[in-house]
Amino acid sequence: MARKVAAVRPPRRGSDALERARIAAILLLGQGLGRGSQAIYSVIMVRELSKAGYGDMATVLASCGVLVAVGDLGFSRLIIRDAARAHDRTMLAREMLRVRAGGVLVVVGLLALAGVAGAVPGGELLGLAGAFYLFAEGLSYGYEAAAAGVERPSRFAAVQGVGGVAVAVAAVAVLSQDHVTPAGAAFGLASASAVKALAHWALWRWRGALGPSRRLRDLPVRQWLRDALPFLALMVLAAVYYRAGILILHLSRGSEETAPYAAAMRVFDGVVVLGGVVFAAVSPALSRMHRERPNDLWRVWRRMIAVFACGVVPAAVTLMLVGEQFARVVFGPRYAVSAGDVLTALAPGMALAILQQISASVVFMSDDRGAVLRLTAFNVSVLFALLVVLTNTSGAHGAAVAMSAAELLSFTTFSLLVWLRHGRGVVAPA
């Protein structure tokens, strides 16, 4: 007698959305513990350091942010994309992490040499602190991407909690010194990042995720590098995009003019982190959707944009109205007017940055990134032109206006690309 085979029920429409929401909530908790603690640390340093000292430290850390993207080799995005499709996600993630570590070490060495040679704002010691921060944060960032790629957000959140405690300890240690210096503040932040990276490694090892794998020479390194190259270019362009204002301001107006803009950008960074949580939460599902259900992408994108717009637009309007009061409470009286003015101009860009990450998550997970790369390069070029003109004429306020204008351009162009690829000719279900 033939055995009856149970029918396989298709997943309910809401089940995947609920799972994405659960992952997003856990990732958001982790980012709040990790990146949130770093943001609080930076706010404390804004109050403790002179404007020139904070401007120098912010410039070095902004440079490190760009170098983290260079050392990543594009593998963080590649891990998220390919792990979602792999049979053994953990094995693929750890093998990619081994290759990625080499890129991190190379750029760390370059920054350390620049610090020793005196080519870093603030001197050799701040340059070495930046190299230490780059090493620790670069390794940690790879583990974070791997946790998202294998869809184990609880690992990520647990380690970010450890990182948050380490940041708190570092803040106490730095503030206990008689005189807080930019190098000391940077070393404190770098030490906390090192603790977080070590915790990531220990957790993966404890969970058996760092066991034996193929020898390095047996890995498809060249293929991975080719596949990751568009991601690398996009990540570097994105890193430059969000830090260009600090770097150009420092070159054109000096450390003191950079400080209020850099302080206000810490709020913008928090918004970008929230967008990154959205990206990491939905990208694995979107990667599979590109292969299995491409006709659903337009409907899913529109729904996400509508839901998030209901939250971010009122928040941006509120920030525009209370920018000076917000800056006074968070950064202190020294920055109330200057940073408040910058926050008011940045507020529209913050709302658009969240919505832009939704479009990016749809586009980046496709297997054709040539148009995305050209589009991103165009947007970054426009931002650079706006920054050069507006920082020379209006300083920090001009840089903030340039940032919001560039976010509007970026959101518009990426939304148009989503429509051209997935919405044109697609009839919405009744």
Phi/psi of residue 303, each to 5°?
-65, -40
Low pLDDT (below 50) residues in the chain: 1-14, 210, 427-430
**Could you tell me if 191 and 155 are in contact, meaning their C-beta atoms sit under 8 angstroms apart?**
no
Mean pLDDT in the chain?
78
In sequence order, what DSSP letters do the residues of 244-289 get, joined into one string?
HHHHHHHHHH-HHHHHHHHHHHHHHHHHHHHHHHHHHHHHHHHHHH
pLDDT at 266: 84
- CA distances 160 to 18, 32, 289, 388, Å, are 23, 8, 29, 37
pLDDT at 13: 45
Exposure of 24 in the CB half-sphere (CA atoms within 13 A): 18
Q: The tokens of 429 are what?
A: 């279900």
pLDDT at 280: 64
pLDDT by residue (tens digit) across 217-268?
A: 666 777 777 777 877 887 788 788 888 889 899 888 888 889 899 989 888 8
pLDDT at 399: 93
